Structure 1
Amino acid sequence: MRLISKYGLILGLFMSVLIICSSCGSRKSMVYLQPDSTQINTLYEQFLPKIQRSDILTIVVTAADPKVTAPFNPLSSMTTSNLTQQTDLALRPTYTVDDNGDVTLPMLGKVHLSGLTRIQAIEKIRSELQQYIKDPGVNINFNNFRVSVLGEVARPGSFIMPTERVTVLEALGMAGDLTIRGIRENVMVIREVDGQKTVHRLDLTKQNSLNSPYYYLAQNDVIYVEPNKAQINNSKLGSNTNVIISIAGLLITVISVLTR
């Protein structure tokens, strides 16, 4: 009887460890954007990312006569029809926004771009170029539109986005989505504008998150997904958890053999 009692005690302890280690969740805490009465009115144009200090921009000037743009595209003269598209992109001139929010362009000198959207910056440079070129075209792209995703996701890391139009859900998708241990109701977005950091939290289980000004990301945003309570409890057990479970399993096996 004592052996059976001990067997029951160890089995109970073993089951307790399993319960602690397991994570449980409901549909309500797992499903994204659950339908409700929220009116979705998010417009990307309302939250266009602004050019900031230290941004790296590709700025290319075009015109009907390519020869007149040569002074404004110092590297474009190196491109030839034999170059691949990737090589051509690499040779396009890039400019870093300095601490004053300016870029220094050939012929034009310093042009203040900080605080402008990409479209606004294009129009400003086009206006400056009209004294040199008739009907100039300008194309601007962010070269360092980086977003970092940390915490309970499948592949945490930093990602260079091919376009500045990117949402929280798209960034999480690039990181392999949240793990089952991630809290979807409290996803943190950290944003820095002009040296000031702000923190906002999104409940991705609700459609209302689509209306948040943080739903569309800006360059250098950091997304952090917190672990749920089960994951935190698991971490408290330490690295010896597997050893404890193995020993408990061995003891149960021995006792079960002895009590036959």
Structure 2
Amino acid sequence: MKFPGFLKIFILAFILTAQSCVSKKEIVYFQGMDSATNQLNKNLNNNLLIQPNDLLTISVAAPEQVAAMPFNLPVVGMPQGNGLSGGLSVNGTQQLQTYRVNSQGDIHFPILGKIKVAGFSSEALSDSLQKKISEYVQDPIVNTRIVNFQVSVLGEVSNPGTFDVGDEKLSLPKALGFAGDLTIYGRRDNVLVMRERNGEKAHAYLDLTNPEVLNSPFYYLQQNDVVYVEPNGAQMQSASYNRNAGVYISIASVIISLAVLITN
């Protein structure tokens, strides 16, 4: 049996439609980066700032360590769990106790008493404490770390979830990397970042295909940010269908193509 000419055209059109590709413009990140690089410098110093309810570890060292000991919380045995509620694991057996920032943005520090920490970066707080402690200890060294830095990545990514972050400078692409990157169904031009700071909520939609995204204050994430990747239009339209439909269509296309060849 031979297929009429119009039917052959219809079949070929069907095959091309079923196997059509997503355009480069929809999936490639940071398009036009070369021409925009000189303007992408405004957001490179976006540091993570300490907020109320954060957990901090602060360690003080000095050439005369005995003199620095009163400025350190006691080191305790490591309990079961992830360490965020009580401190940071040290050498797998002990942990540094943490300071919880209260709702006014303060902590109670040994010898120094109540000090304001909210709004400081870890580095700035270390510098401030170093100056205060130097009145009591010669050449102190202060290390501060935020230990409750977490972000959640949801939507059209390979491995959605909440992730603990060790690095205090986390970009949006790196967070998406933790989640296995966007699936082919995720919109790269409309990624939502939701943020809460000092009781106020804010959000922004970022276009990862545009290099100007590096200038956004939401490009570097803050603790407890939520990233949501929206499905593209085709994925939303096909939400009521089986995701394997594309496979079935491809198989049917191959069978029809073979039938056309055999009958000629």
1:86 aligns with 2:95: no
Task: Show CA shifts across 1:45-73 (max 9, x none).
Answer: 2x112100111111001111111122222
CA distance in 1, matches of 2:197, 2:55: 16
CA distance in 2, matches of 1:25, 1:103: 52
AA of the residue aligned to 1:26: S
Counterpart check, 1:175 vs 2:179: yes
1:44 match: 44
- TM-score scaled by structure 2? 0.76
Q: How big is each residue's C-alpha offset from its partner over 1:122-146, in whole Å with a ceiling of 9 and x where there is no partner?
A: 1222222223212211100110111
Query: Does the Cα contact within 8 Å between 1:23 and 1:231 map onto a contact in 2?
Result: no
Report matched runs for 1:43-122 at 5 Å. 43-45=43-45, 47-76=46-75, 85-87=90-92, 90-122=94-126
Return the alpha-carbon distance in structure 2 between the equivalents of residues 23 and 143 of structure 1: 47
Contact preservation (8 Å) 1:70, 1:76: no
Give the CA deviation at 1:43: 4.5
Task: Identify the range of structure 1 (166-175 vs 124-133) with the bigger mean alpha-carbon deviation.
Answer: 124-133
TM-score by length of 1: 0.77
Secondary structure of 2:220's counterpart equals coil
CA shift, 1:78, in A, is 7.8
State the identity as a percent.
40
CA contact 2:43–2:217 (8 Å) conserved in 1: no
SS of the equivalent of 2:186 reads: coil
| C-alpha contact (below 8 Å) 1:75/1:91 kept by paired residues | no
Higher strand residue share: 2
How far 1:192 moved relative to its partner?
1.2
- Of 181, 185, 188 in structure 2, the residue corresponding to residue 184 of structure 1 is 188
* Counterpart residue identity of residue 44, structure 1: L
Deviations 1:89-114 (A, max 9, x none): x5223111011101111222211101
The structure with the largest helix share of the pair is 1
Aligned equivalents of 1:178, 1:78: Cα separation in 2? 40
Alignment of 1:1-260 (within 5 A): 25-35=22-32, 37-38=35-36, 39-45=39-45, 47-76=46-75, 85-87=90-92, 90-237=94-241
Counterpart Cα distance in 2 of 1:131 and 1:24 = 67
Counterpart-to-counterpart distance in 1, 2:144 and 2:55: 10
Q: CA deviation at 1:74?
A: 2.8
**Alpha-carbon distance change, 67 to 230 in structure 1, aligned in 2, over 3 angstroms:** same
The answer as to whether partners of 1:23 and 1:230 remain within 8 angstroms in 2 is no
Q: Contact 2:43 / 2:214 at 8 angstroms: preserved in 1?
A: no
Counterpart CA distance in 2 for 1:178 and 1:102 is 39
CA distance in structure 1 between the aligned counterparts of 2:179 and 2:144, rounded to whole angstroms: 27
Work out whether residues 51 and 117 of structure 1, in 8 Å CA contact, stay in contact via their aligned partners in 2: yes
Q: Which letter maps to 1:32?
A: Y
Provide the rounded CA distance (Å) in 1 between the counterparts of 2:129 and 2:199: 25
Structure 1 residues 203, 77: CA separation in 2 closer, same or farther (over 3 Å shift)?
closer
Moved more, 65-74 or 144-153: 65-74
What CA distance in whole angstroms lies between the structure 1 residues aligned with 2:20 and 2:119?
Answer: 45
Query: Structure 2, unaligned stretches of length 5 or more?
Result: 1-6, 79-88, 253-258, 260-264
- Give the secondary-structure state (helix, strand or coil) at the position aligned to 2:91: helix
CA deviation map 1:19-67 (0-9, x unaligned) = 5xx885211000111125323214432x112100111111001111111
Gaps of 5+ in 1: 1-7, 250-255
Q: Look up the equivalent residue of 1:50 and give its one-letter code.
A: L
2:255: which partner in 1? none
> CA-atom RMSD, angstroms?
3.1
Counterparts of 2:44 and 2:131, CA distance in 1 = 25
